[in-house]
Amino acid sequence: MAACQRDPRGAVPAALSSGWDDVLIQLLSTPGVSENDVIKTLCMASAAGQGGAVRSILSIFPNAARTCDTTKDNVTALHYASTREVALLLMRSGASPVSELNSSGARPIHTASSAGHVEVVRCLLEPASVNQQTRVTGDTPLSVACAAGRLPVVRMLVNIGADLRISN
């Protein structure tokens, strides 16, 4: 395990970035820590692909996977998922790849498509059809991946049957 690094953002990000999951849980369980602090930490761990930290946080705060970070565009940790492991952990804890919309109307599959996370996109597609997951604006995962220039995601979506004719 790495030594705990100094982090100007505070103790929780320092524990998270150093991989000290037991310290992280102790900090998050401290009286006065808000639910939104837990959600922010879960989002950070999700974005960093830290499956161990995500698993630890969800074991203590099981509803966190279904809760939005109200300070940052109503995103859930599933919007930040950067690995298949993290996406699966969150979905097993109740996060919905279809019903979770952030304040701009994007579902987790749109953020994963835009970020180029091929395995996360594939994981998010398992429970629903690729052509049915549109943003409020009508954007499909394919159109979002194309706009972001994410060729591996575009290839994967086309290979599994994304409809090229759907326009937004």
Q: Can you tell me which residue has the tokens 């939005």?
A: 68
CA torsion angle 28 31 33 38 (round to 10): 40
Shortest CA distance to 78 belongs to which of 101, 61, 57, 56? 101
Q: How far apart are CA 100 and CA 95, in angstroms?
A: 8
- Predicted local confidence at residue 149, as pLDDT: 93
At 94-144, the pLDDT tens digits run 888 877 788 888 889 889 999 999 999 888 876 455 555 666 677 888 888
**pLDDT class of 2 with cuts at 50, 70, 90:** very low
Report which residue type is found at 29: S
**pLDDT tens digits, residue range 69-79?**
666 777 889 99
Q: Read off the tokens for 141.
A: 């995962």
Q: Which residues does residue 75 pair with via DSSP β-bridges, in sequence order?
A: 69
Extended beta strands in 78-148, E state: none
- Residue linked to tokens 């761990």: 45
8 pLDDT more than 70: no
Contact indicator for 116, 109 with CB cutoff of 8 Å: no
